[in-house]
Structure 1
Amino acid sequence: MKKLKETISLIDGLNTKAQEQMEQHLNSLTKPFGSLGLLESLAIKIAGITGNAQPNIDPAMVVLMASDHGVTVEGVSAYPSEVTQQMVRNFITGGAAINVLSRASNASVQVVDIGINGELQLPGLINRKIRFGTNNMVQGPAMERTEAVSAIEVGIEVAQSAIQKGARLLALGEMGIGNTTASSAMVAVLGQLSVDQVVGFGTGINTDEKVKKANVIKRSIEINQPNPADPIDVLAKVGGLEIAGLAGIVLGAAAARVPVLIDGFITAVAALTAVRMTPACVHYLIASHQSVEPGHIFVNKLLGLQPLVNLNLRVGEGSGTAIALPIVRSAIKIANEMSTFEQAGVSGSTDGSVKGTAEVAKTSEILPTEPTLQIATLHEFDVQQKQGVYNAIYSRRDIRSFIKQPIEEEKLYRILKAAHHAPSVGFMQPWNFIAVRSDEIKQQLHDVVSKEIQVAGKYFEDDRSLLYPKLKLEGILEAPVTICFTCDPTRNGDHVLGRNTIPETDAYSVVCAMQNLWLAARAEGLGVGWVSFYKKQDIRKILNIPPHIEPIGLMSVGYTHQFQEQPVLETVGWGKRIPIDNLIYTDNWGSNKTK
């Protein structure tokens, strides 16, 4: 665990200075502004990863982790488990798809035995075996938590060794019969998705076998009860050794500021596991492709990554990374080898790519002629209006106890309309509001929430373990209305202004709507309680929400006896509000903290 903690402590965000330098350089090249699209975004990202405005990603190495899965005895795969060993021999002799594609893309391949169910002595095979395959997760945890941590640390060490030997980009590959079953179980838990949404045909099972596979996964989750908030717990209970090792590769590469190219479904789940352990890891990830496995779509969305290609691949092994590597390399070559307008003697464009000093001077002449003081107060609210806004912000509380008194329809409509006036990326307005008044449906919501509250309580220790049972964490049955806020990621089509780079902004927009309603409700004298203990698939089922719609939050609304002076969790000693001065930096993270 020591190596894991040390590695995580080294992971930081992107180097914004290098990104700015790269962006300025790209804008000076002999091309229309932004005309190379995602290639330019990719170059900027790699500059931020490496901290170098002239980055190099060669040599590139595919690290392929191999392991077996005990769950294969349940008939979840079209191939027997001994195929894992046979394919590893094929990798070592250079006859597999990943070998051919890596030779074509000028990348080396390193194969690691982290959990094959058998002894293999092959030249070039790195033996870092944790155990001989995982247990059958239908009968209990796939492995011990300590084994999952050890496998992650093996991945970290393999990444460190590869980087020390000169690798400047690491690509993820895997081999393990049954690993789409483990990956589907993991993403269903980590993403709070239904198993039926994420399970696919894997290596080529038929429809009946797919139903069987889904049932095996459901039983595994039900038996093991993995905690969605604890990625190592999920990994140990329903994951795989190669998935753990690949998560370690991501962590080790991120700590060394080396980009990571993700392959298909299994490697994407490994990357998601690393990101759930350390969110900053996501900055170091590049999605090579979109596979046909349905769970891969959800994982890429959870990671907020846009795949470079979609060729209907499902072979795994790291094949997609080898295919995408020339695209990544092209982005770097464009930045490093293309001529600037000045070098080529070409006149700059008029869209802002290149500006002379006279043009820059003109852009500074934009201030209105009114005095500065008038500008400062021109759009300001009067004193009473301002006080009302701040009163709503500072006296807003998370309310759990409600008076059983109906909310006036016009008042409910007003606060929903306030929610609808929230900002949204690209003005896509991705929200819908489901106002739940039915006692029967509220009871169903209460039941699933209560179950998750009990499960969550098991993970608190010391004083909080004693305090947790005393907390009232929801008031669905008491509140006259509970509103489910949903997000439709398909609204306004595939390309929404401002959302292509950060897909999660649709969900962020919905959260803005939730905050609008909360403040409007406070102004109307209504209490609001945000309920966050639930599995998304349960809410979808109860409220008949379509599979592609995301339930973002439940908010119970109603009249209450009291708005406390302080947040309840602060009053009972759960935590304290952090002083604002501890949270403000100037220009850079950690710099010039205000006093």
Structure 2
Amino acid sequence: MKKMKDIMNAITEPDLSAQQAMENHLNSLTKPLGSLGRLEDLAIQLAGITGRTQPVIDPAAVIVMAADHGVSAEGVSAFPTEVTRQMVSNFISGGAAINVLARSAAASVQIVDIGVQGEFNLPGLISRKIRFGTNNMLHGPAMSMDEAVAAIEAGIDIAQDAIRKGAKLLALGEMGIGNTTASSALLAVLGQIPVEQAVGLGTGISQEMRQHKARVISKAIERNQPNPSDPVDVLAKIGGLEIAGLAGVVLGAAAMRIPVLVDGFISAIAAMIAVKLSPLAVHYLIASHESVEPGHALVNRLLGLQPLLNLNLRLGEGSGTAIALPIVRAAVRIAKEMATFDQAGVSGSLDGSVSGENQTLDDSGQTISMIPSPTYSIETPYFIETRHEFDQGQKAGVYQAIHTRRDIRTFIRQPIEEEKLRRILDAAHHAPSVGFMQPWNFIVVRSNPIKQQLHEIVAKEVQVAGQYFEGKRAELYPKLKVQGILEAPITICFTCDPTRDGAHVLGRNTLPETDVHSVVCAIENLWLAARAEGLGAGWVSFYKKQDVRKILHIPPHIDPVGLISIGYTHAFQERPVLETVGWGKRYSLDELIFTDRWGNH
């Protein structure tokens, strides 16, 4: 455990100065600004990872972790368990798809036995076996917590050893019959999404088998009760050894500032576990592709990763990484080998572009710039800023709402006037949203039976959460009132529809989670408007999303972002309750302000 924690603590932010230097360099090259799209994004990311304006990613190594899964005994795969062992032999002999693709991509392949059933005597196989496959998670935990940690730490060792031997990029691969079942289970719990949405056809099972697979996963989750806030607990109860090992590879690489090329669904789940353990690790990930497994797109979205390719792959082994590796190399070579405007003697346009873009021909056939020129009135010189401030009374009201807003848990039984409710919902609806997509809906819950159902699922999760606090907070927790659904006249469920406005939303391509951020802006608008109207609002965050979806009949693709209970209250406390009772204190603003870079006060 100490090794894992030390590695997690060693992972740092990308080098922002190197990223800025790379961006400046790319903007000086003989091309229109941003015209190489994702290649430029990749070059900037690699500069931040490596801290170099000329990043090096070769030699590249594909690390394939192999292990067996006890749950495969439930008939969840199209192939028998012994195929894992047979494929390991195939990898070592060089006859598998990853061997062929890695040779074409000039990458080495390392095969690691971290949990295959049976012993091997194969030259070149790296043996880090934790145990002979996992237990059947349908009947109990797949492995112990100690075994899960040992597998993660084995992955850390493998990554560090590869890097010490010269690897500058690590790619993830896996082999294990039954591992899409474990990965779907992990996604359902860690991503808080319905099992049906997380389960795909894996290695090629039928729809009937897929439904059986979903039932097995649901029963395993119910039996083991993994804690979504503890990724190691989830991994131990319903995960796999090779998944744990790959999570360790991600952590080990990130700690040594080495980029990680992620393959398909299983390796993406491993990357998600690494990010749950150490959020900064996400900056070191590059998604090679998006497979046909439905869970893969969900994981990429949860991680905020944009895949380089979509070739309808569903093989695993690291195959997608080997195919994508030349694209990553192209990004590096563009930054290193392409001439700048000065070097090539090419005249750049005002916005850094050359021919074609932002240009047209006038009536005489001469090229003219279409870059709009700024216009200034004679009466108002351009250097005089136009102010649009509120008057003093209006400003005081805005700041009063901000500073006196509280998370209210106790309500009086007085109904909310309909016109007042309409006003605060209208305030929510006027929140800013990425690409003006307005992804929100507001489910206003007035029904007492439905409130009772929501109360019950929240109370259950409140009880579960209590066991994770220690010391003073363990004493305080049972005394806290953390929700008032039954008392409040209404509770509003704020939802996010990621499909609204089509597949391509302005401003969401590189940060897919901005649609959820938009919904949070709507919640904040409503909360401030409610305070101005004398209404208390309490944000309830103890629930499983699939439970809320079931109670409120929310479609599977819609995300229930927040439950907000609203009503009149006896008083708005001078200070937040958690501060008053000694749970925590507000940081000073000066502690939280950095200048130009992280940590620079």
Tell me the TM-score normalised to structure 1 length: 0.95
The structural deviation recorded for 1:370 is 6.5
Q: 2:489 aligns with which of 480, 494, 505?
A: 480
1:121 counterpart residue number: 121
Q: Check whether the contact 1:28–1:353 (CA below 8 A) recurs between aligned residues.
A: no
Q: Measure, in 2, the Cα distance between the counterparts of 1:94 and 1:346.
A: 48
Which residue type is aligned with residue 159 of structure 1? A
Would you say the 8 A contact 2:16–2:597 is kept in 1?
Answer: no
Q: Deviations for 1:168-213, whole angstroms, at most 9, x for unmatched residues? A: 1100000111111110000000000010001111111112211111
Q: Which residue of 1 aligns with 2:571?
A: 562
Show the counterpart of 2:338.
338
Partner in structure 2 of residue 576 of structure 1: 585
Equivalent position of 1:228 in the other structure: 228
Deviation sequence 1:499-546 (CA, Å, 0-9, x none): 111111111111011011001100000000000111111111111112
Aligned to 1:347: 347
Matched with 2:182 is 182
Q: 1:413 to 1:85 in 2, by over 3 A?
A: same
* Matching residue's letter, 2:147: E
1:55-74 correspondence runs (5 A):
55-74=55-74
What SS class does the counterpart of residue 80 from structure 1 fall into?
Answer: coil
**1:351 Cα shift?**
2.8
Counterpart amino acid of residue 167 in structure 2: A
1-structure distance, mates of 2:377, 2:133: 69
Letter paired with 1:114: I
| Paired amino acid for 1:156 | I
8 Å Cα contact 2:429/2:522 also seen in 1: yes
Partners of 2:31 and 2:586 lie apart in 1 by 50
Structure 2 residue aligned with 1:445? 454
Alignment partner, residue 519 of structure 2: 510
Aligned partner of residue 493 in structure 2, secondary structure = strand
Name the structure 2 match of 1:400.
409
C-alpha separation between the residues in 1 aligned to 2:380 and 2:227? Answer: 59
Q: Distance in 2 between matches of 1:374 and 1:30?
A: 37
- In structure 2, relative to structure 1, the CA distance for the partners of 1:420 and 1:180 (3 Å cut) is same
Percent identical residues:
71
Q: Report the residue type matching 1:10 in the other structure.
A: A
- 2:131 corresponding residue in structure 1: 131
**1:276 corresponding residue in structure 2:** 276
My pick for the range that moved more, 185-194 or 419-428, is 419-428
Aligned amino acid, residue 187 of structure 1: L
TM-score w.r.t. structure 2 length?
A: 0.94
Higher alpha-carbon deviation: 502-511 or 25-34: 25-34
1:163 aligns with 2:172: no
Q: Secondary structure at the match of 1:459?
A: coil
Instruction: List aligned pairs for 1:4-403, cutoff 5 A.
Output: 4-353=4-353, 375=385, 378-403=387-412
Following TM superposition, the consecutive aligned residue runs of length 4 or more in structure 1 with deviations greater than 3 angstroms are 362-376
Cα distance in 2, alignment partners of residues 189 and 290 from structure 1: 21
Provide, for residues 270-308 of structure 1, a one-character-per-residue CA deviation record: whole Å limited to 9, x for no partner: 000000111111111000111111111110110011111
Q: Give distance in 2, aligned partners of 1:87 and 1:368.
A: 77
1:425 and 1:480 map into 2 onto residues whose CA distance is 31
- Measured in 1, the distance between the counterparts of 2:439 and 2:268 equals 26
Bigger Cα displacement from structure 2, 422-431 vs 284-293: 422-431
How far is the alpha carbon of 1:350 from its aligned partner? 3.5
Alignment match of 2:552 (pick from 543, 558, 563): 543
TM-aligned CA distance change 1:368 to 1:291, over 3 Å: farther
Q: Hey, what's the Cα distance between the residues in 1 that align with 2:473 and 2:186? A: 28
Residue 130 of structure 1 aligns with an amino acid whose one-letter code is I
Deviation at 1:413, TM superposition (A): 0.7
Q: CA deviation at 1:352?
A: 3.5
Provide Cα deviations, 1:57-96, integer angstroms capped at 9, x if missing partner.
1110000011111111111111111111110000000000
- 1:478 counterpart SS class: coil
Deviation digits for residues 6-26 of structure 1 (CA, Å, limit 9, x no counterpart): 111111111111111111111
Asked whether the equivalents of residues 247 and 270 of structure 2 are also in contact (C-alpha less than 8 Å), the reply is: yes
How far apart, CA to CA, are the structure 1 residues paired with 2:302 and 2:103?
A: 32
Is contact 2:376-2:382 (8 Å) kept? no
Q: C-alpha separation between the residues in 1 aligned to 2:243 and 2:513?
A: 25
Shift of the alpha carbon at 1:371? 9.6
Q: CA deviation at 1:463?
A: 2.2
Residue identity in the other structure for 1:576: K
Q: Distance in 1 between matches of 2:595 and 2:345?
A: 40
Deviation at 1:372? 12
CA deviation vs aligned residue, 1:546-582 (integer Å, no higher than 9, x gap): 2211111010000011111111111122111112221
| Cα offset, 1:330, TM superposition | 1.0
Other-structure match for 2:470: 461
* Aligned partner of residue 561 in structure 2, secondary structure: strand
The one of 509, 517, 520 aligned to 2:529: 520
2:403 counterpart SS class:
helix
1:115-149 Cα distance to aligned partner (Å, 9 max, x none):
11111121111111111111111111111111111
State the 1:430 CA deviation.
1.3
Contact 1:228 1:234 in 2 (8 A): yes
CA separation in 2, counterparts of 1:338 and 1:172?
A: 30
Structure 1 526/104 Cα, relative in aligned 2: closer, same or farther at 3 Å? Answer: same
Which moved further from structure 2: 578-587 or 289-298? 578-587
Partner Cα separation in structure 1 for residue 30 and residue 87 of structure 2: 47
> Which secondary structure state, in structure 1, belongs to the residue aligned with residue 467 of structure 2?
helix
Please give the alpha-carbon distance, in whole angstroms, between the structure 1 residues aligned to 2:339 and 2:178: 49
- Measured in 2, the distance between the counterparts of 1:464 and 1:421 equals 38
Partners in 2 of 1:412 and 1:114 — Cα distance?
Answer: 58
Moved more, 420-429 or 81-90: 420-429
State whether residues 28 and 352 of structure 2, in contact with CA within 8 Å, keep that contact through their aligned partners in structure 1.
no
Q: Aligned partners of 2:519 and 2:378: how far apart in 1?
A: 36
Aligned length: 585
Q: Evaluate the alpha carbon distance shift between residue 585 and residue 237 of structure 1 in structure 2; reply closer, same or farther with a 3 A threshold.
A: same
Instruction: Name the CA distance, whole Å, in 1 between partners of 2:377 and 2:76.
Output: 68
SS in 2 for 1:513: helix
Q: Distance in 2 between matches of 1:226 and 1:204?
A: 28
Query: Once superposed, what is the RMSD of the aligned Cα atoms?
Result: 1.9
Seen in structure 2, the aligned counterparts of structure 1 residues 106 and 573 have a Cα distance that, compared at 3 Å, is same
Q: Do the aligned partners of 2:32 and 2:352 also contact (CA within 8 Å) in 1?
A: no
- Which amino acid is 1:5 matched to? K
